[in-house]
Chain A
Amino acid sequence: MKQLIKIAWRNILKHKGKSIVIGTILFLGSFLMTVGNGVISGMDKGLQKNIVDKYTGHIVLISSEQQEDNVIFSQMGKPVEIIEGFDGIKKILDANNLIDKYLPVGKEFVMLFNEDGEPGYTLIMGVDFVEYQKMFGDNIVAEEGNLLKKNERGVLITTKQREEFYDYYNYWCVPENSQAVEKNLSEDAKLNVKNLNIKRDIVFMGFSEKNSALDIRTKIKGIVKFSSLNSIWGHINFCDIESFRECFGWVTSNDINAELSKGQQTLLNIDESNLEALFGGNMETIEDNTPHKNLPEDPSKTDSVKPNSFKNQADTGVRDSGAYNIVFIKLKKPEDIDKTIKELSVKINELKLKCRVISWKKAVGQIADIAAIIRAALFGFVMLLFFVAIIIIMNTLSMTALERVSEIGMMRAVGASKGFISGMFVFETAILSFIFGGSGIIAGIITTEIIAFQNITTSNDFLQLLYGGDSFMPLLGAGDVAAGIIQLVIVTILSMIYPVLIARKITPLDAISRE
């Protein structure tokens, strides 16, 4: 062993040029691999931190009727199915020890009405905003105006959406009782600052392929911005849950208990497949003088709402403590996602609840996909480095083996076994790998720390995904460093296999023939 190491070390020193070439490749390879691992890990952690902590939680509960898992950025016009029986769901969520907190919300596309032009569309999330802040912290900051207070009605428009509204519909949203702030104007808006069409409230109406309900005018309470990934999440505006329910016709249980007139009852009992009957000559004229008489004066006091099917509600007589279509769930331990999904699914099945639970990645759909693609691309890049490093090192070592036919052949002639020759090459490569690869890993760790310390930020969509947030925070844990060492060992082993095979095949006769 000592002799092997001695010969290997002296050969390294003797063939300095080749050693430096191999060493440099190993250094650069392990350096880039380490930094790459840091970026991948940072991105993972960043996504976890930003999406899970600030937007979705670890698990998302949706209706069992919901076909697509991607409920956050769903296709326009495709409604996210309403979760029925939230009372029962709430019980199992409260009883589960793995769950830290949860937040039910309503999220849908709404149609924007514009008195001065074409109607538009946007995404809106109806929440109890105070509860939202408890769940997701300070991920939303008011750039103008205020955030929603407890039981306050109103809408929060994101900066991104405000700019898009201006671009598409030619109005500039500002919070009620305020003026346009020049420094916050978009580049286009600045050009038209004197003739800006200012809007302090917004009219929107629930809109989907299944229904279109009430149009409601809501005051803009604030212009907000997400603390990270604003370019992605900034498509979602916020409003209070009651306004949301109203515009989608998710009526309260007070509505359910309303005494319906004979005409209303007849209407409800019409077979959906025979809607033409509504327009038939025998149809009774409906006089509904109390369209919203059962809505509570203070909607925040409503504790029972139900989706917009009066008929089903009347049939089942179920009373819900709230109508939502998404429940975000945060766990005490992030690693318990699968376990919790399993536990909840069992309970849901047992109690025959009409819902199901999915991971946050499924819920955000293409965002997680894009992140996974970027991650795969980075991983592919690291693998490409791997491959190139292996080829170059393999080639250089093979050349070294062929140049040393006389020496190796002579060693074999005087009694060195094939194992000894293999060992010589293994030690040579291992020593180079240890010195240069190890230095590369250390340099990678230091560089990663320096980059993280620099707090590089970006507003670019792609880079935000790449960074896992708006700041570039590569992160190296012990596992990542271990992965880097394993990758280095794999590169070393793979790159030495072929040269070792060449060296093992060298016979004393080859040496003599060469001489």
Chain B
Amino acid sequence: MILRAFSKALIFTWQFSGLMHPDLNITLFSNYVRRLFNDVIYEGETMSLIEMKEVLKDYPLGKTIVKALRGINFTVERGDFLSVVGASGSGKTTMLNIIGCIDAPTSGTVKIDGNDITMLNDKELTKLRLYKIGFIFQTFNLIPVLNVRENVEFPLLLMKDLSKSEIRARAEKFIEAVGIKEFIKHRPAELSGGQRQRVAIARSLATNPDIVLADEPTANLDSETGESILELMKNLNEKEKTTFIFSTHDQRVLKYAKHIVRLTDGKISD
């Protein structure tokens, strides 16, 4: 707390001391200073994995502004299995996109593992997505020209800090875990929807992310496959302590959730 107060005081002093040339971009500079202290401030402190404060998200739609999120405040702890529910257009996907660092809030703060994502540049956000977040999307899933193993290996290769054998071992471990080992050399076009979703899950887990974001993961699956995938995620959540956040309409998903966040018109209603 003392350190945080000190850093805020420093930023304030820096901004208003008059030492900086007025033409300099003060916001950017102060952001830099804040980022500099970010790690120091949060190092060793107990904190939530995800923190959203007063998050607003507006989308311009022609001449009107659509308010997708209207002041979201909530936290997600490590190892949670959270389901975000709500009617279509309630802001579920927008919230997930912001948590996944693929969209930015109009205002408010979003911290992922202590990193204020509104302060990060594209390179840093990309790195954050690579190391801390796994995605399971509703429809767009896999790289069509790569086979199952190569798809799972893809983010591991991007990390550049793993050996070839380690990458291979990790990929095969998760492919086996999602039960598609026999399709390891198949390309996405040769797999069913459920199998593709399993590959996506394997890929999202292979990097050992802190958070897995799944946007309606069962929407395109038959009930049996959907159940088996949810079961798989539940097991991984329990074994690996991976945090799962779902957005869903599917009532079946809810029974797996530890917590449920209900969104109505861009606000948490429950």
* Chain A residues with a Cβ under 8 A of chain B: 3, 6-7, 10-11, 13-14, 406-407, 409-418, 420, 507-509, 511-512, 515
Contact = CB atoms under 8 A, between A and B. Distances in A.
A414 B157 contact: no
B130 A515 contact: no
A219 to B, nearest CB: 85
Contacts of A415: 126-127, 129-131, 155, 158-159, 207
A512 B146 contact: no
B158 A416 contact: yes
B192 to A, nearest CB: 19
A441 to B, nearest CB: 28
B139 interface: yes
Interface stretch (B3-11, B13-21, B96-104, B227-235): B96-104
Interface string B187-224: 00000000000000001100100000000000000000
B105 to A, nearest CB: 13
A174 B150 CA distance: 87
B144 A407 contact: yes
29 contacts: A7-B143, A7-B145, A406-B140, A407-B140, A410-B141, A410-B142, A412-B102, A413-B102, A413-B129, A413-B137, A414-B130, A414-B158, A414-B203, A414-B204, A415-B127, A415-B129, A415-B131, A415-B155, A415-B159, A415-B207, A416-B126, A508-B102, A509-B97, A509-B102, A511-B140, A512-B93, A512-B102, A512-B140, A515-B137
Nearest to B134: A414
Given A3-B157, A420-B158, A410 B137 contact: yes
Contacts of A407: 140, 143-144
Max count, chain B CB within 10 A of own CB: residue among A14, A406, A416: A416
Contacts of B135: 410, 413-414, 508
A270 to B, nearest CB: 84
A14 B189 CA distance: 12
B138 interface: yes
Contacts of B141: 410
What are the 10 tightest A-B residue pairs by CB atom distance, in nearest-first order?
A415-B130, A10-B145, A508-B102, A406-B140, A414-B155, A415-B158, A515-B139, A415-B155, A3-B157, A417-B126
Given A406-B140, A515-B139, A413 B100 contact: yes
Contact of B122 (A418, A420, A509): A418
Contacts of A414: 129-130, 134-135, 154-155, 158, 203-204
Nearest to B153: A3
Nearest to A405: B140
Contact of B146 (A7, A13, A413): A7
A508 B129 CA distance: 11
Nearest to A409: B140
A512 B137 contact: yes
Interface in B70-122: 93, 97, 100, 102-103, 122
A413 B131 CA distance: 11
A515 B138 contact: yes
B268 to A, nearest CB: 22
Nearest to A413: B135
A407 B143 CA distance: 6
Contacts of A13: 145
A417 B123 contact: yes
Contacts of A3: 154, 157
Interface of B: 93, 97, 100, 102-103, 122-123, 126-127, 129-131, 134-135, 137-146, 150, 154-155, 157-159, 203-204, 207
- Majority secondary structure, A binding face: helix
A13 B134 CA distance: 29
A507 B102 CA distance: 7
Contacts of A416: 126, 158
A426 B144 CA distance: 19
A512 B154 contact: no
Nearest to A511: B140
Contacts of B127: 415
Given A410-B140, A414-B135, A415-B130, 15 more contacts: A14-B144, A407-B144, A410-B143, A413-B100, A414-B155, A415-B131, A415-B155, A415-B158, A415-B159, A416-B158, A418-B126, A420-B158, A508-B100, A511-B140, A512-B140
Given A7-B146, A415-B158, A515 B140 contact: yes
Contacts of B150: 6
A428 to B, nearest CB: 11
A509 B129 CA distance: 13
A417 B140 CA distance: 18
Max count, chain B CB within 10 A of own CB: residue among A11, A412, A414, A512: A414
Contacts of A509: 97, 102-103
A417 B137 CA distance: 19
A277 B119 CA distance: 102
Nearest to A508: B102
A409 B137 CA distance: 11
Max count, chain B CB within 10 A of own CB: residue among A3, A10, A420, A508: A508
A14 B62 CA distance: 37
Contacts of A413: 100, 102, 129, 135, 137
A30 B76 CA distance: 59
A415 B101 CA distance: 11
Given A414-B135, A508-B102, A10 B155 contact: no
Contacts of B143: 7, 407, 410-411
Contacts of A515: 137-140
A10 B130 contact: no
Nearest to A418: B122
Contacts of A11: 145
Nearest to A15: B145
A416 B159 CA distance: 9
B262 to A, nearest CB: 22
Contacts of A411: 143, 154
A132 to B, nearest CB: 71
A515 B97 CA distance: 14
A476 to B, nearest CB: 38
Contacts of A507: 102
A299 B143 CA distance: 93
Contacts of B126: 412, 415-418
A401 to B, nearest CB: 15
Nearest to A9: B145
A508 B102 CA distance: 6
A10 B154 contact: no
Nearest to B123: A417
Nearest to B204: A414
Nearest to B96: A512
A13 B144 CA distance: 12
Max count, chain A CB within 10 A of own CB: residue among B135, B140, B203, B204: B140
B19 to A, nearest CB: 35
A410 B155 CA distance: 11
Contacts of B130: 414-415
Nearest to A2: B157
A445 B127 CA distance: 48
Contacts of B93: 512
Nearest to B142: A410
A279 to B, nearest CB: 88
